[in-house]
Structure 1
Amino acid sequence: MSGATRIRLHHLTFVDEGDEVLVGRPDTEAYAVLPVDGADLLRQLQDHTIPEAVAWYEQAYQETPDIESFLDDLRELGFIHELDSDSDSDSDNNNDSDNASAPPPPPVRLHRLAKAVFSAPAWLLYTALATTAVAVLVTVPQVRPGPSRVFFAGTLWLVPFVLVAVEIPLIYLHEMFHVLAGRRLGAASRISIGHRLYFVVFQTTLTGIYSVPRRKRVFPFLAGMVSDILVFSALILFAAADRTDAGTPGLPGRIAIAAAYFTALRFLWQFLIFMETDVHHVLATVLGRTDLRGLTQTYLRSLLRPRAERPAMTERDRAVLRWFGPLTVACVTAAMAFGLYSLVRVLSTYTTQLTHGFGAGAGTGRFWDSTFSVFFVVGQFVLAGVLAARDRRARQKGLPQ
């Protein structure tokens, strides 16, 4: 690398973040936080030869940069597209196109759809939908979700299968709103499918949004919760439209109410900010801290040590923890309290129906329905335990899971 006179860089983005600059290559989602002088040197390398960039830096900062080490770091990050040596023809040395950065990547897919989904007319429609749903909840008590509404049918074993079939697409829609919000900004974003134990999970990668200013990164993290509000509103309105002459919802309406209840739980789940939920990422973005959970855990563990052995913390970290700690306690307490209340109510209703089913006598349809339901519920925990033990053994042996 010592013989290099100029470099050709990939398309890079520069986002000023106070005393630092976040430099990234969006197409590979590689990012690095550089001091201002390092970012300035990198900008010079985009349009000038290496000796010219070094000379500029020496004049601007009154010191000589370690250019060899700097170029090594750029290469490891994948920022360098080409590195030309002194053996190139002299006629190329003055060619600006050789020194310019590579052209920006093509527009992301679904960019137009993303702009339409979050356009002004769309927001007017979303507002009308949510407002109407609130009015229906106030005036039509038959469609209000609750723990007892989870059991929409008299057949117990049918309930979890139907709800899983309904909830999986709704969870995917939640993640898709994150993706579209990112692509609306022109940032790369995608959904991947994985599993936790035997549960299918969708995971959204939004690394591309670090190519835009921090204030524009907030909404992509909130977009999933917007989806939950819209889904909840649509389900309530559907249940209201499905009512019979007596005012009670039919089977499709009851399924919608049960799904709306779990959608509301999913919305509240986002406030468990110690679990890196949507709200956690919003707060981390606003505060400029990428690892709020790690910061909080470090602080809490330090309280168990003698004061002299506690790790040093910056004043900024202390300022964040002064209000983030109480906020975490408040959010987690509220979410856990509601979750515990819901669990108790659901288990109470489930136990009551089981009792009635077993009380109907052996051999009856309700008896076998209750029996199959118990095996299904217990079987889930047994399967989860077996898979967890298998994964633990695989980790211990270093095998793929």
Structure 2
Amino acid sequence: MSRIRLHELAARPDGAEWIVGRPATGTFVAVPEAGKRALELLGEGLSTGEAARRLEHETGHDLDVADFVDALVELGFVAEVDGRAVPLPEPPRPTLPGIRPARVRWTLSPLLPLLVVLLVTAALVVRPEGVSVSYRALLWSEHGSLVLAFGAASGWALLLLHELAHLVTARATGVPARMRLGTRLQFLVMQTDISGIELAPRRHRMTAYLAGIGVNLAVSAGAALAAGAVDGTARRVLAALTVLALLPLPFQLMVFMRTDLYFVLQDLTRCRDLYGDGRAYARYAARRLLRPGHRAPDPSRALPAHERRAVRIYSVLLVAGTALCLAFLVTVTLPADLALLTRAAGRLCAGDRGAAQRLDAAAVLVALGGVHVLWARTWWRGRRGRRARARRTR
């Protein structure tokens, strides 16, 4: 006959179920109508026994509210049980906590996507002279060092703007959002955790998912239009920025790596965990193929029909895309990187090399080796974090 106090929760209807979660942690779960009603009764201060009797009276079914409360405790939804605080780790600190939802609510306005569309349309219609989506636009200077420096600076600035767009639009819905480094297969990426956005209305969810792509398109179109108004070096630099802002967009099509468009796809197919379910089905299919006598049940059978179809199709994209990326890594990226690192190490160790060659070799070792070390460290931290979360939920 326990009484509990719940943390602040949010909920939205999703078909015959409800998505309920804790915005502070980004944890959410799907519950039936009876589960939603049980949360309401427990939140009103009823004990588990009183809530069970009320639910039985209202629904005609005997529901085990005590087990339901145990599940809520594991999810981190319960603050107190019978006046005793439930020990839980502090929620992760959001990035840029000074950005308050009320200050950035304007980012959810439907006028912003319309402005981006108008800006892109204007750039396509005007087509400023001297601006083309070509690799030649990137070679805006005869000095390679300037080209590389501008490309690196612009690339990082655009990356931060892209992720900041996700963070701000998610924050506008009340989601804390956190930016951090992450890995996607062999790629080192900046990513924004907007867990909890699932509790927002669909238009707001789509705005948060597509905000980064919208920023890239707006910067590209704006740079193209500005290039048409200037001459000389300024025009060439803006033409290069036009292309640089578009370069990350093809990566978004790689939905098997949970890119921005992956979350759009997951939302449109109404899947709970397209990547996780797709990976589980791919493993099941691989076992059946490699071990014909394998009797494990098909994990997709427990899913609704619409999710089952989407998961099986996605599993094909997941396997094919992952295989192609890893094949490119083994046949192209790693051999090239190893050749560069070996050559640089050899030049540093050779005693007959000039100062310029030694400096070049040191720069290669620091830059290329640093990227690989950072990838490995980020991958390890992510893996260790997943293991810690798995232990807490056992």
Q: TM-score, normalised by structure 1?
A: 0.69
1:328 Cα offset (Å): 7.3
Deviations 1:179-204 (A, max 9, x none): 232233x221434243769x985321
The answer to whether the 8 Å contact 2:256/2:317 transfers is no
Q: Does 2:20 match 1:23?
A: yes
Q: Secondary structure at 1:296's aligned position in 2? A: helix
Q: What is the aligned counterpart of 1:161 among 108, 127, 149?
A: 149
Deviations 1:109-143 (A, max 9, x none): 44344333443554554343222211233x52x11
1:34 Cα offset (Å): 2.4
After TM superposition, the structure 1 stretch with the greater mean CA deviation from structure 2, 321-330 or 67-76, is 321-330
Q: What is the aligned counterpart of 1:260 among 235, 239, 242?
A: 242
Name the residue aligned to 1:232. Answer: 220
Deviations 1:276-325 (A, max 9, x none): 00000111122232432343344444153356536413244442156546
The answer to whether the 8 Å contact 1:157/1:373 transfers is no
1:169 Cα offset (Å): 1.8
After TM superposition, the structure 1 stretch with the greater mean CA deviation from structure 2, 34-43 or 63-72, is 63-72
Name the residue aligned to 1:172. Answer: 160
The answer to whether the 8 Å contact 1:175/1:191 transfers is no
Q: Does 2:112 match 1:115?
A: no
The answer to whether the 8 Å contact 1:152/1:255 transfers is yes
CA distance in 1, matches of 2:243, 2:369: 26
Name the residue aligned to 2:175. Answer: 188
CA distance in 1, matches of 2:381, 2:188: 20
Q: Secondary structure at 1:187's aligned position in 2? A: coil
Please give the residue correspondences for 1:1-400 in structure 2 after superposition, counting only pairs within 5 Å.
Answer: 2=1, 4=2, 6-50=3-47, 51-84=49-82, 109-119=99-109, 122-123=112-113, 125-137=115-127, 140=129, 142-184=130-172, 186-194=173-181, 201-214=189-202, 216-244=204-232, 250=233, 252-301=234-283, 302-303=285-286, 304-306=289-291, 309=294, 311-312=297-298, 313-314=300-301, 315-321=305-311, 324=314, 380-385=367-372
Whichever residue aligns with residue 156 of structure 1, its letter is: G
The answer to whether the 8 Å contact 1:20/1:34 transfers is yes
CA distance in 1, matches of 2:82, 2:163: 43
After TM superposition, the structure 1 stretch with the greater mean CA deviation from structure 2, 374-383 or 171-180, is 374-383
Question: Which residues of structure 2 form unaligned runs of 5+?
Answer: 84-96, 333-354, 386-394
Q: Secondary structure at 1:126's aligned position in 2? A: helix
CA distance in 1, matches of 2:142, 2:69: 69
Q: Secondary structure at 2:24's aligned position in 1? A: coil
CA distance in 2, matches of 1:143, 1:370: 37
CA distance in 2, matches of 1:393, 1:172: 23
Relative to structure 1, the CA distance from residue 110 to residue 238 in structure 2 (aligned partners, 3 Å threshold; closer, same or farther) is farther
CA distance in 2, matches of 1:26, 1:395: 22
CA distance in 1, matches of 2:383, 2:46: 51
1:83 Cα offset (Å): 3.7
Relative to structure 1, the CA distance from residue 396 to residue 81 in structure 2 (aligned partners, 3 Å threshold; closer, same or farther) is closer
1:237 Cα offset (Å): 1.7
The answer to whether the 8 Å contact 2:104/2:169 transfers is yes
The answer to whether the 8 Å contact 2:4/2:78 transfers is yes
RMSD: 4.2
Relative to structure 1, the CA distance from residue 264 to residue 204 in structure 2 (aligned partners, 3 Å threshold; closer, same or farther) is same
Relative to structure 1, the CA distance from residue 64 to residue 311 in structure 2 (aligned partners, 3 Å threshold; closer, same or farther) is closer
Q: Over alpha carbons, which structure has the higher Rg? A: 1
Aligned identity (percent) is 28
The answer to whether the 8 Å contact 2:282/2:316 transfers is no
1:53 Cα offset (Å): 1.3
CA distance in 2, matches of 1:158, 1:373: 16
1:387 Cα offset (Å): 5.5
Whichever residue aligns with residue 73 of structure 2, its letter is: R
Q: Secondary structure at 1:157's aligned position in 2? A: helix
Question: Which residues of structure 1 form unaligned runs of 5+?
Answer: 86-106, 245-249, 344-367
1:160 Cα offset (Å): 1.9
CA distance in 2, matches of 1:12, 1:45: 12
